[in-house]
Every structure is written in structure tokens, then in C-alpha cells.
């Protein structure tokens, strides 16, 4: 697609498919899947270096920093203090001020604690972070996040890893109409049509991890997702026909026998 770059806080991205790096069989598979997906943003978690087993390979050895924007996240953080700490550590380790902010509220659903999310976002924005918050599909919360300075929002489609696809397309559609910053649908995508639907609704990008890494053939699914996001985006820009209750014939009556 000609110049359909996604621009967030001065960072430009060619691909509207963002991918996570967890749950793969090994780093070689991770690298192949990311390549097949065409993604140029990859999310990573921040964890202790394995100091006892120094022979363990490093994910970053498999990801060319010139090709990919590394987007660290605060995965596993259930309160403001932890999320802020991990964000600061991510920035100390990394190369940019970008952070995907997760403040989780519950272990079973992994839904965001939106109150904590807003609080943590405020702190980090004041410290100069570019905060991309993992939120729910509540447009009011999304607008609050934008008001405090988040340059984009990342509403979930369904619980992380659930593969349920977009649970509430109506909320997401409202969110997309109300909130005037890039929207990256994050979490819950299961298969290609889910990603295409997100883009058709008007999402600016889709982030997924389990949908690819957990597929029977992750490389093939990564490729499928690349096309799905592309197709959905094209369809959105092409302007779909309205839905009608009754038929409208495509062929003229004139000239019939």
C-alpha cells in the first residue's frame, strides 16, 4: 500500500501488524514467524537475566535492532508501583522511551486495572515516556488515557491468549469514532478473520502473540495475519457497502426476455 505508514509520537511504522515474542518453541521459530508476519514492531518483556546458565541464548541476538522497533511491556505487573518500576527498567535497558503499559487487574482474565493504568500512565508521561496503554474497550477510559497524554491506545479484543476475537465490536467501533489517536487492537485475536475485522472496524494496527505462536503452524499463521491485516485495512479505506435488510439486484431488468 502506498504510504499507509502508521505514525505514533514521531515513530513511523510500515506494518500495521505488531507481534509479541512469547510462547514460541525456540528463538529460531520466533525469528521466522516475525519475518513471515512482516511486523516491524515487536513486544518484549523485562525479566532477570539468567546468570546461572550463561550459555542460554538471548532473544535479542535473533532480532535485528535495525529492522525492528523493540516495544518493551510491563507484562506481569498488577500494581502501579511494579508497572512504573518495570517501565523505568525497560527504558534503562533499551533504546527508546516507548513503553507498552500493562497494569493487570486479575490473574484469570488478565483484564487491565484501568484505575491503576491511568495512575501509572500519568507518572510515566511526566517522566517523558511514550506510553501505549493496554486497556479495555471502554471509550471513556480510552479518552482519559488520551487526555493525560497517551499518543495511542491499545484496547483488548478479548482476554489475552483466549483466541476469542473481537468480543464487542460495537464498543470498539464507538471507541474508534470517539477517540482521535491511533488505536491498536491488542489481545484476544484468534485467527485471520479476527485481525481483518479489527482493521475493518477502523483500527490502526493489531497486536497479537498467542494467535501466531500458539497456532499449529506459526509461520503460516504469521503470513496469514500479514494478509489479514492488509486486507482489512484496504477494505476499510475502500469504504464498504451498507448493510441492507432486503436485496438490491445487481443486474438491470431492462433487456430481459
CA 220 to each of CA 173, 184, 211, 223: distance values in angstroms, whole numbers, following the listed order: 29, 23, 11, 5
Residue labelled with grid coordinates 479495555: 136
Interatomic CA distance for residues 91 and 85, integer angstroms: 10
**Residue 37 binds another protein, judged by CB under 8 A:** no
- Which contiguous run of DSSP H or E holds residue 199? helix 192-201
**Residue 66 binds another protein, judged by CB under 8 A:** no
**Residue 99 binds another protein, judged by CB under 8 A:** no
Shortest separation between residue 135's beta carbon and another protein, angstroms: 13
Neighbours of 10 (CB within 10 A): 7
Shortest separation between residue 202's beta carbon and another protein, angstroms: 23
Burial (CB < 10 A; 0-12, 13-18, 19+), residue 62, is: middle
Catalytic residue among 67, 100, 144, 244: 100
Q: Give the interface segment with another protein, choosing from 100-108, 139-147, 164-172, 238-246 (CB under 8 A).
A: 100-108
Nearer to another protein, 31 or 173 (CB): 31
Interatomic CA distance for residues 53 and 59, integer angstroms: 15
- Pairing of the two strands 130-135 and 98-101: parallel
**Residue 209 binds another protein, judged by CB under 8 A:** yes
Judged by CB under 8 A, the residue of 14, 47, 67, 237 near another protein is 47
Q: Give the interface segment with another protein, choosing from 90-98, 137-145, 232-240, 242-250 (CB under 8 A).
A: 90-98
Give CA 229 to chain center in angstroms.
12
Kindly identify the residues of this chain, within the stretch 218-257, that bind another protein according to CB under 8 A: none
Q: Give the interface segment with another protein, choosing from 84-92, 191-199, 226-234, 238-246 (CB under 8 A).
A: 84-92
Residue 203 has phi, psi (to 5 degrees) of -65, 150
Residue 26 is classified by DSSP as S
Q: Give the interface segment with another protein, choosing from 55-63, 165-173, 190-198, 245-253 (CB under 8 A).
A: 55-63
Size of the site for another protein (CB under 8 A): 46
Residue labelled with grid coordinates 477510559: 141
Annotated active-site residue 100? The verdict is yes
Would you tell me which residues interact with another protein (CB under 8 A)?
Answer: 19-24, 27, 30, 43-49, 51-52, 54, 58-60, 70, 72-73, 75-76, 88-94, 102, 104, 108, 110, 134, 160-161, 187, 207-210, 213
Amino acid at each position: 500500500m502506498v504510504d499507509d505508514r502508521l505514525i505514533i509520537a514521531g515513530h513511523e511504522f510500515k506494518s500495521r501488524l505488531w507481534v509479541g515474542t512469547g510462547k514460541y518453541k525456540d528463538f529460531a521459530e520466533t525469528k521466522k514467524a516475525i519475518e513471515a508476519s512482516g511486523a516491524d514492531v515487536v513486544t518484549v518483556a523485562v525479566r532477570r537475566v539468567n546468570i546461572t546458565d550463561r550459555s542460554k541464548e538471548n532473544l535479542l541476538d535473533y532480532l535485528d535492532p535495525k529492522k525492528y522497533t523493540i516495544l518493551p511491556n510491563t507484562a506481569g505487573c498488577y500494581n502501579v508501583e511494579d508497572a512504573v518500576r518495570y517501565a523505568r527498567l525497560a527504558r534503562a535497558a533499551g533504546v527508546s522511551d516507548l513503553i507498552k503499559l500493562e497494569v493487570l487487574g486479575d490473574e484469570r482474565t488478565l483484564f487491565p486495572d484501568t484505575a491503576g493504568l491511568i495512575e501509572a500512565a500519568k507518572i510515566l508521561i511526566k517522566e517523558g515516556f511514550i506510553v501505549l496503554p493496554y486497556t479495555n474497550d471502554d471509550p471513556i477510559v480510552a479518552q482519559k488515557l488520551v487526555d493525560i497524554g497517551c499518543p495511542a491506545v491499545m484496547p483488548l479484543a478479548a482476554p489475552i491468549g483466549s483466541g476469542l476475537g473481537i468480543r464487542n465490536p460495537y464498543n470498539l467501533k464507538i471507541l474508534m469514532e470517539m477517540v482521535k489517536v491511533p488505536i491498536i487492537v491488542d489481545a484476544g485475536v484468534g485467527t485471520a478473520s479476527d485481525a481483518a475485522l479489527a482493521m475493518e472496524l477502523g483500527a490502526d494496527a493489531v497486536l497479537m502473540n498467542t494467535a501466531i505462536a500458539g497456532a499449529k503452524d506459526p509461520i503460516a499463521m504469521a503470513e496469514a495475519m500479514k494478509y489479514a491485516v492488509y486486507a482489512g485495512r484496504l477494505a476499510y479505506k475502500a469504504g464498504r457497502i451498507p448493510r441492507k435488510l432486503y436485496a438490491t439486484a445487481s443486474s438491470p431488468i431492462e433487456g430481459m426476455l
